[in-house]
Amino acid sequence: MHSDRRAFLVGAGALALSACGSGGAKGGRARLVLGDQVHLLQSKAEAAGALGNLPYDVEWANFVGAAPLLEALNAGAVDTAPAGDLPVVLAAAAKVPLKIIAASVSPASDIGILVPPGSPIRSVAGLAGHRVIVSSARGSIAHYLLLEALKEAKLDRRKVDIGFMLPNDAAAAFAAGRIDAWATFGTYQVAAEQRGARLLRDGQGINTGLSVIAASESALADAGKRAALKDVLARFRTASLWARAHPADYVRVLAKATGMDPKLAQLVVDRQNPLLVAPGAMVVGPLQRVVDRFHADGELPAHVDVASIVDAGIFPA
């Protein structure tokens, strides 16, 4: 069963209630509700001192994965959603009104298929007959990695029992030995590897490594919010430059903001300390190729022309 618009409406009523009164102006000032995942964007921006003297109000909303964050965007509970490239495309294919306004690139090794310590599974081909959990949802970057890795190994996907769980739940199940293999990403992958998980295949040569920041079309249509989005993205760019120039300082802030072990925070920063870039041809081209493959596999409810879901006027090159 393919994901469709209904997947993004699950829980939307509660999300819409939480958004009431949070997106309007206060004293004539625009107000942005900025979505985040695992506090990564917020901690970097605040550590860099990039959010001082704002001419608009900002509220942060943190999520554990792209799927609930994009549900919130669809419900109007947040104005922006930083996420992997494919979850945003899937949302667009399901008619969620959004545009990509910025992007960043991390090594594709930051996505991986893991097995627990001591697992007899030694390769992707060895996943036959086993249950593989993907975080966080159908159409995620980890899902794409798994499907392409199965093709690479010449293993029919029907011979693998594929399920989906949010990263926090999957991490607990994986640590408890209730999952044969786990396709995951980012901090969750790094943490599992630190606890002895073995990597079967990472995203190099498969995934783009792209992350994007999406904004709701309603926010982009509001003149005050549009101006605020232009300003805040410039500040995020400043923050990304600061984090690359001061990695040790960023590690300390990230560990404090997330409660992450400092050694784990160091590994996360070593793997993913990307620079914010404009969503130009170097972003659209690679992403379109991935979208075409994913659609051909039947994993998108509709084909998406990536260029049509980009608003290049917020963060120009």
**Chain segment 181-234, per-residue pLDDT in tens:** 999 999 999 999 999 999 999 999 999 999 999 999 999 999 999 999 999 999
pLDDT of residue 273: 79
**Contact assessment for residue 309 and residue 92, using Cβ atoms and an 8 Å cutoff:** yes
Whether the predicted pLDDT of 19 surpasses 70: no
Secondary structure in 3-state letters for the chain? CCCCHHHHCCCHHHHHHHHCCCCCCECCECEEEEEEECCHHHHHHHHCCCCCCCCCEEEEEEECCHHHHHHHHHHCCCCEEEEEHHHHHHHHHCCCCEEEEEEEECCHHHEEEEECCCCCCCCHHHHCCCEEEECCCCCCHHHHHHHHHHHHCCCCHHHCEEEECCHHHHHHHHHCCCCCEEEEEHHHHHHHHHCCCEEEEECCCCCCCEEEEEEEHHHHHCHHHHHHHHHHHHHHHHHHHHHHHCHHHHHHHHHHHHCCCHHHHHHHHHHCCCCEECCCHHHHHHHHHHHHHHHHCCCCCCCCCHHHHECCCCCCC
| CA distances to 5, 64, 109 from 74, in Å | 10, 17, 30
CA distance 239 to 226: 20
Sign of CA dihedral 260, 118, 108, 1: negative
Whether the predicted pLDDT of 158 surpasses 60: yes
**Chain segment 207-218, per-residue pLDDT in tens:** 999 999 999 999
CA distance 307 to 292: 13
* Complete domains list, the chain, with CATH: 5-105+209-309 (3.40.190.10), 108-202 (3.40.190.10)
CA distance 37 to 92: 19
**Chain segment 236-281, per-residue pLDDT in tens:** 999 999 999 999 999 999 999 888 899 999 998 998 878 899 999 9
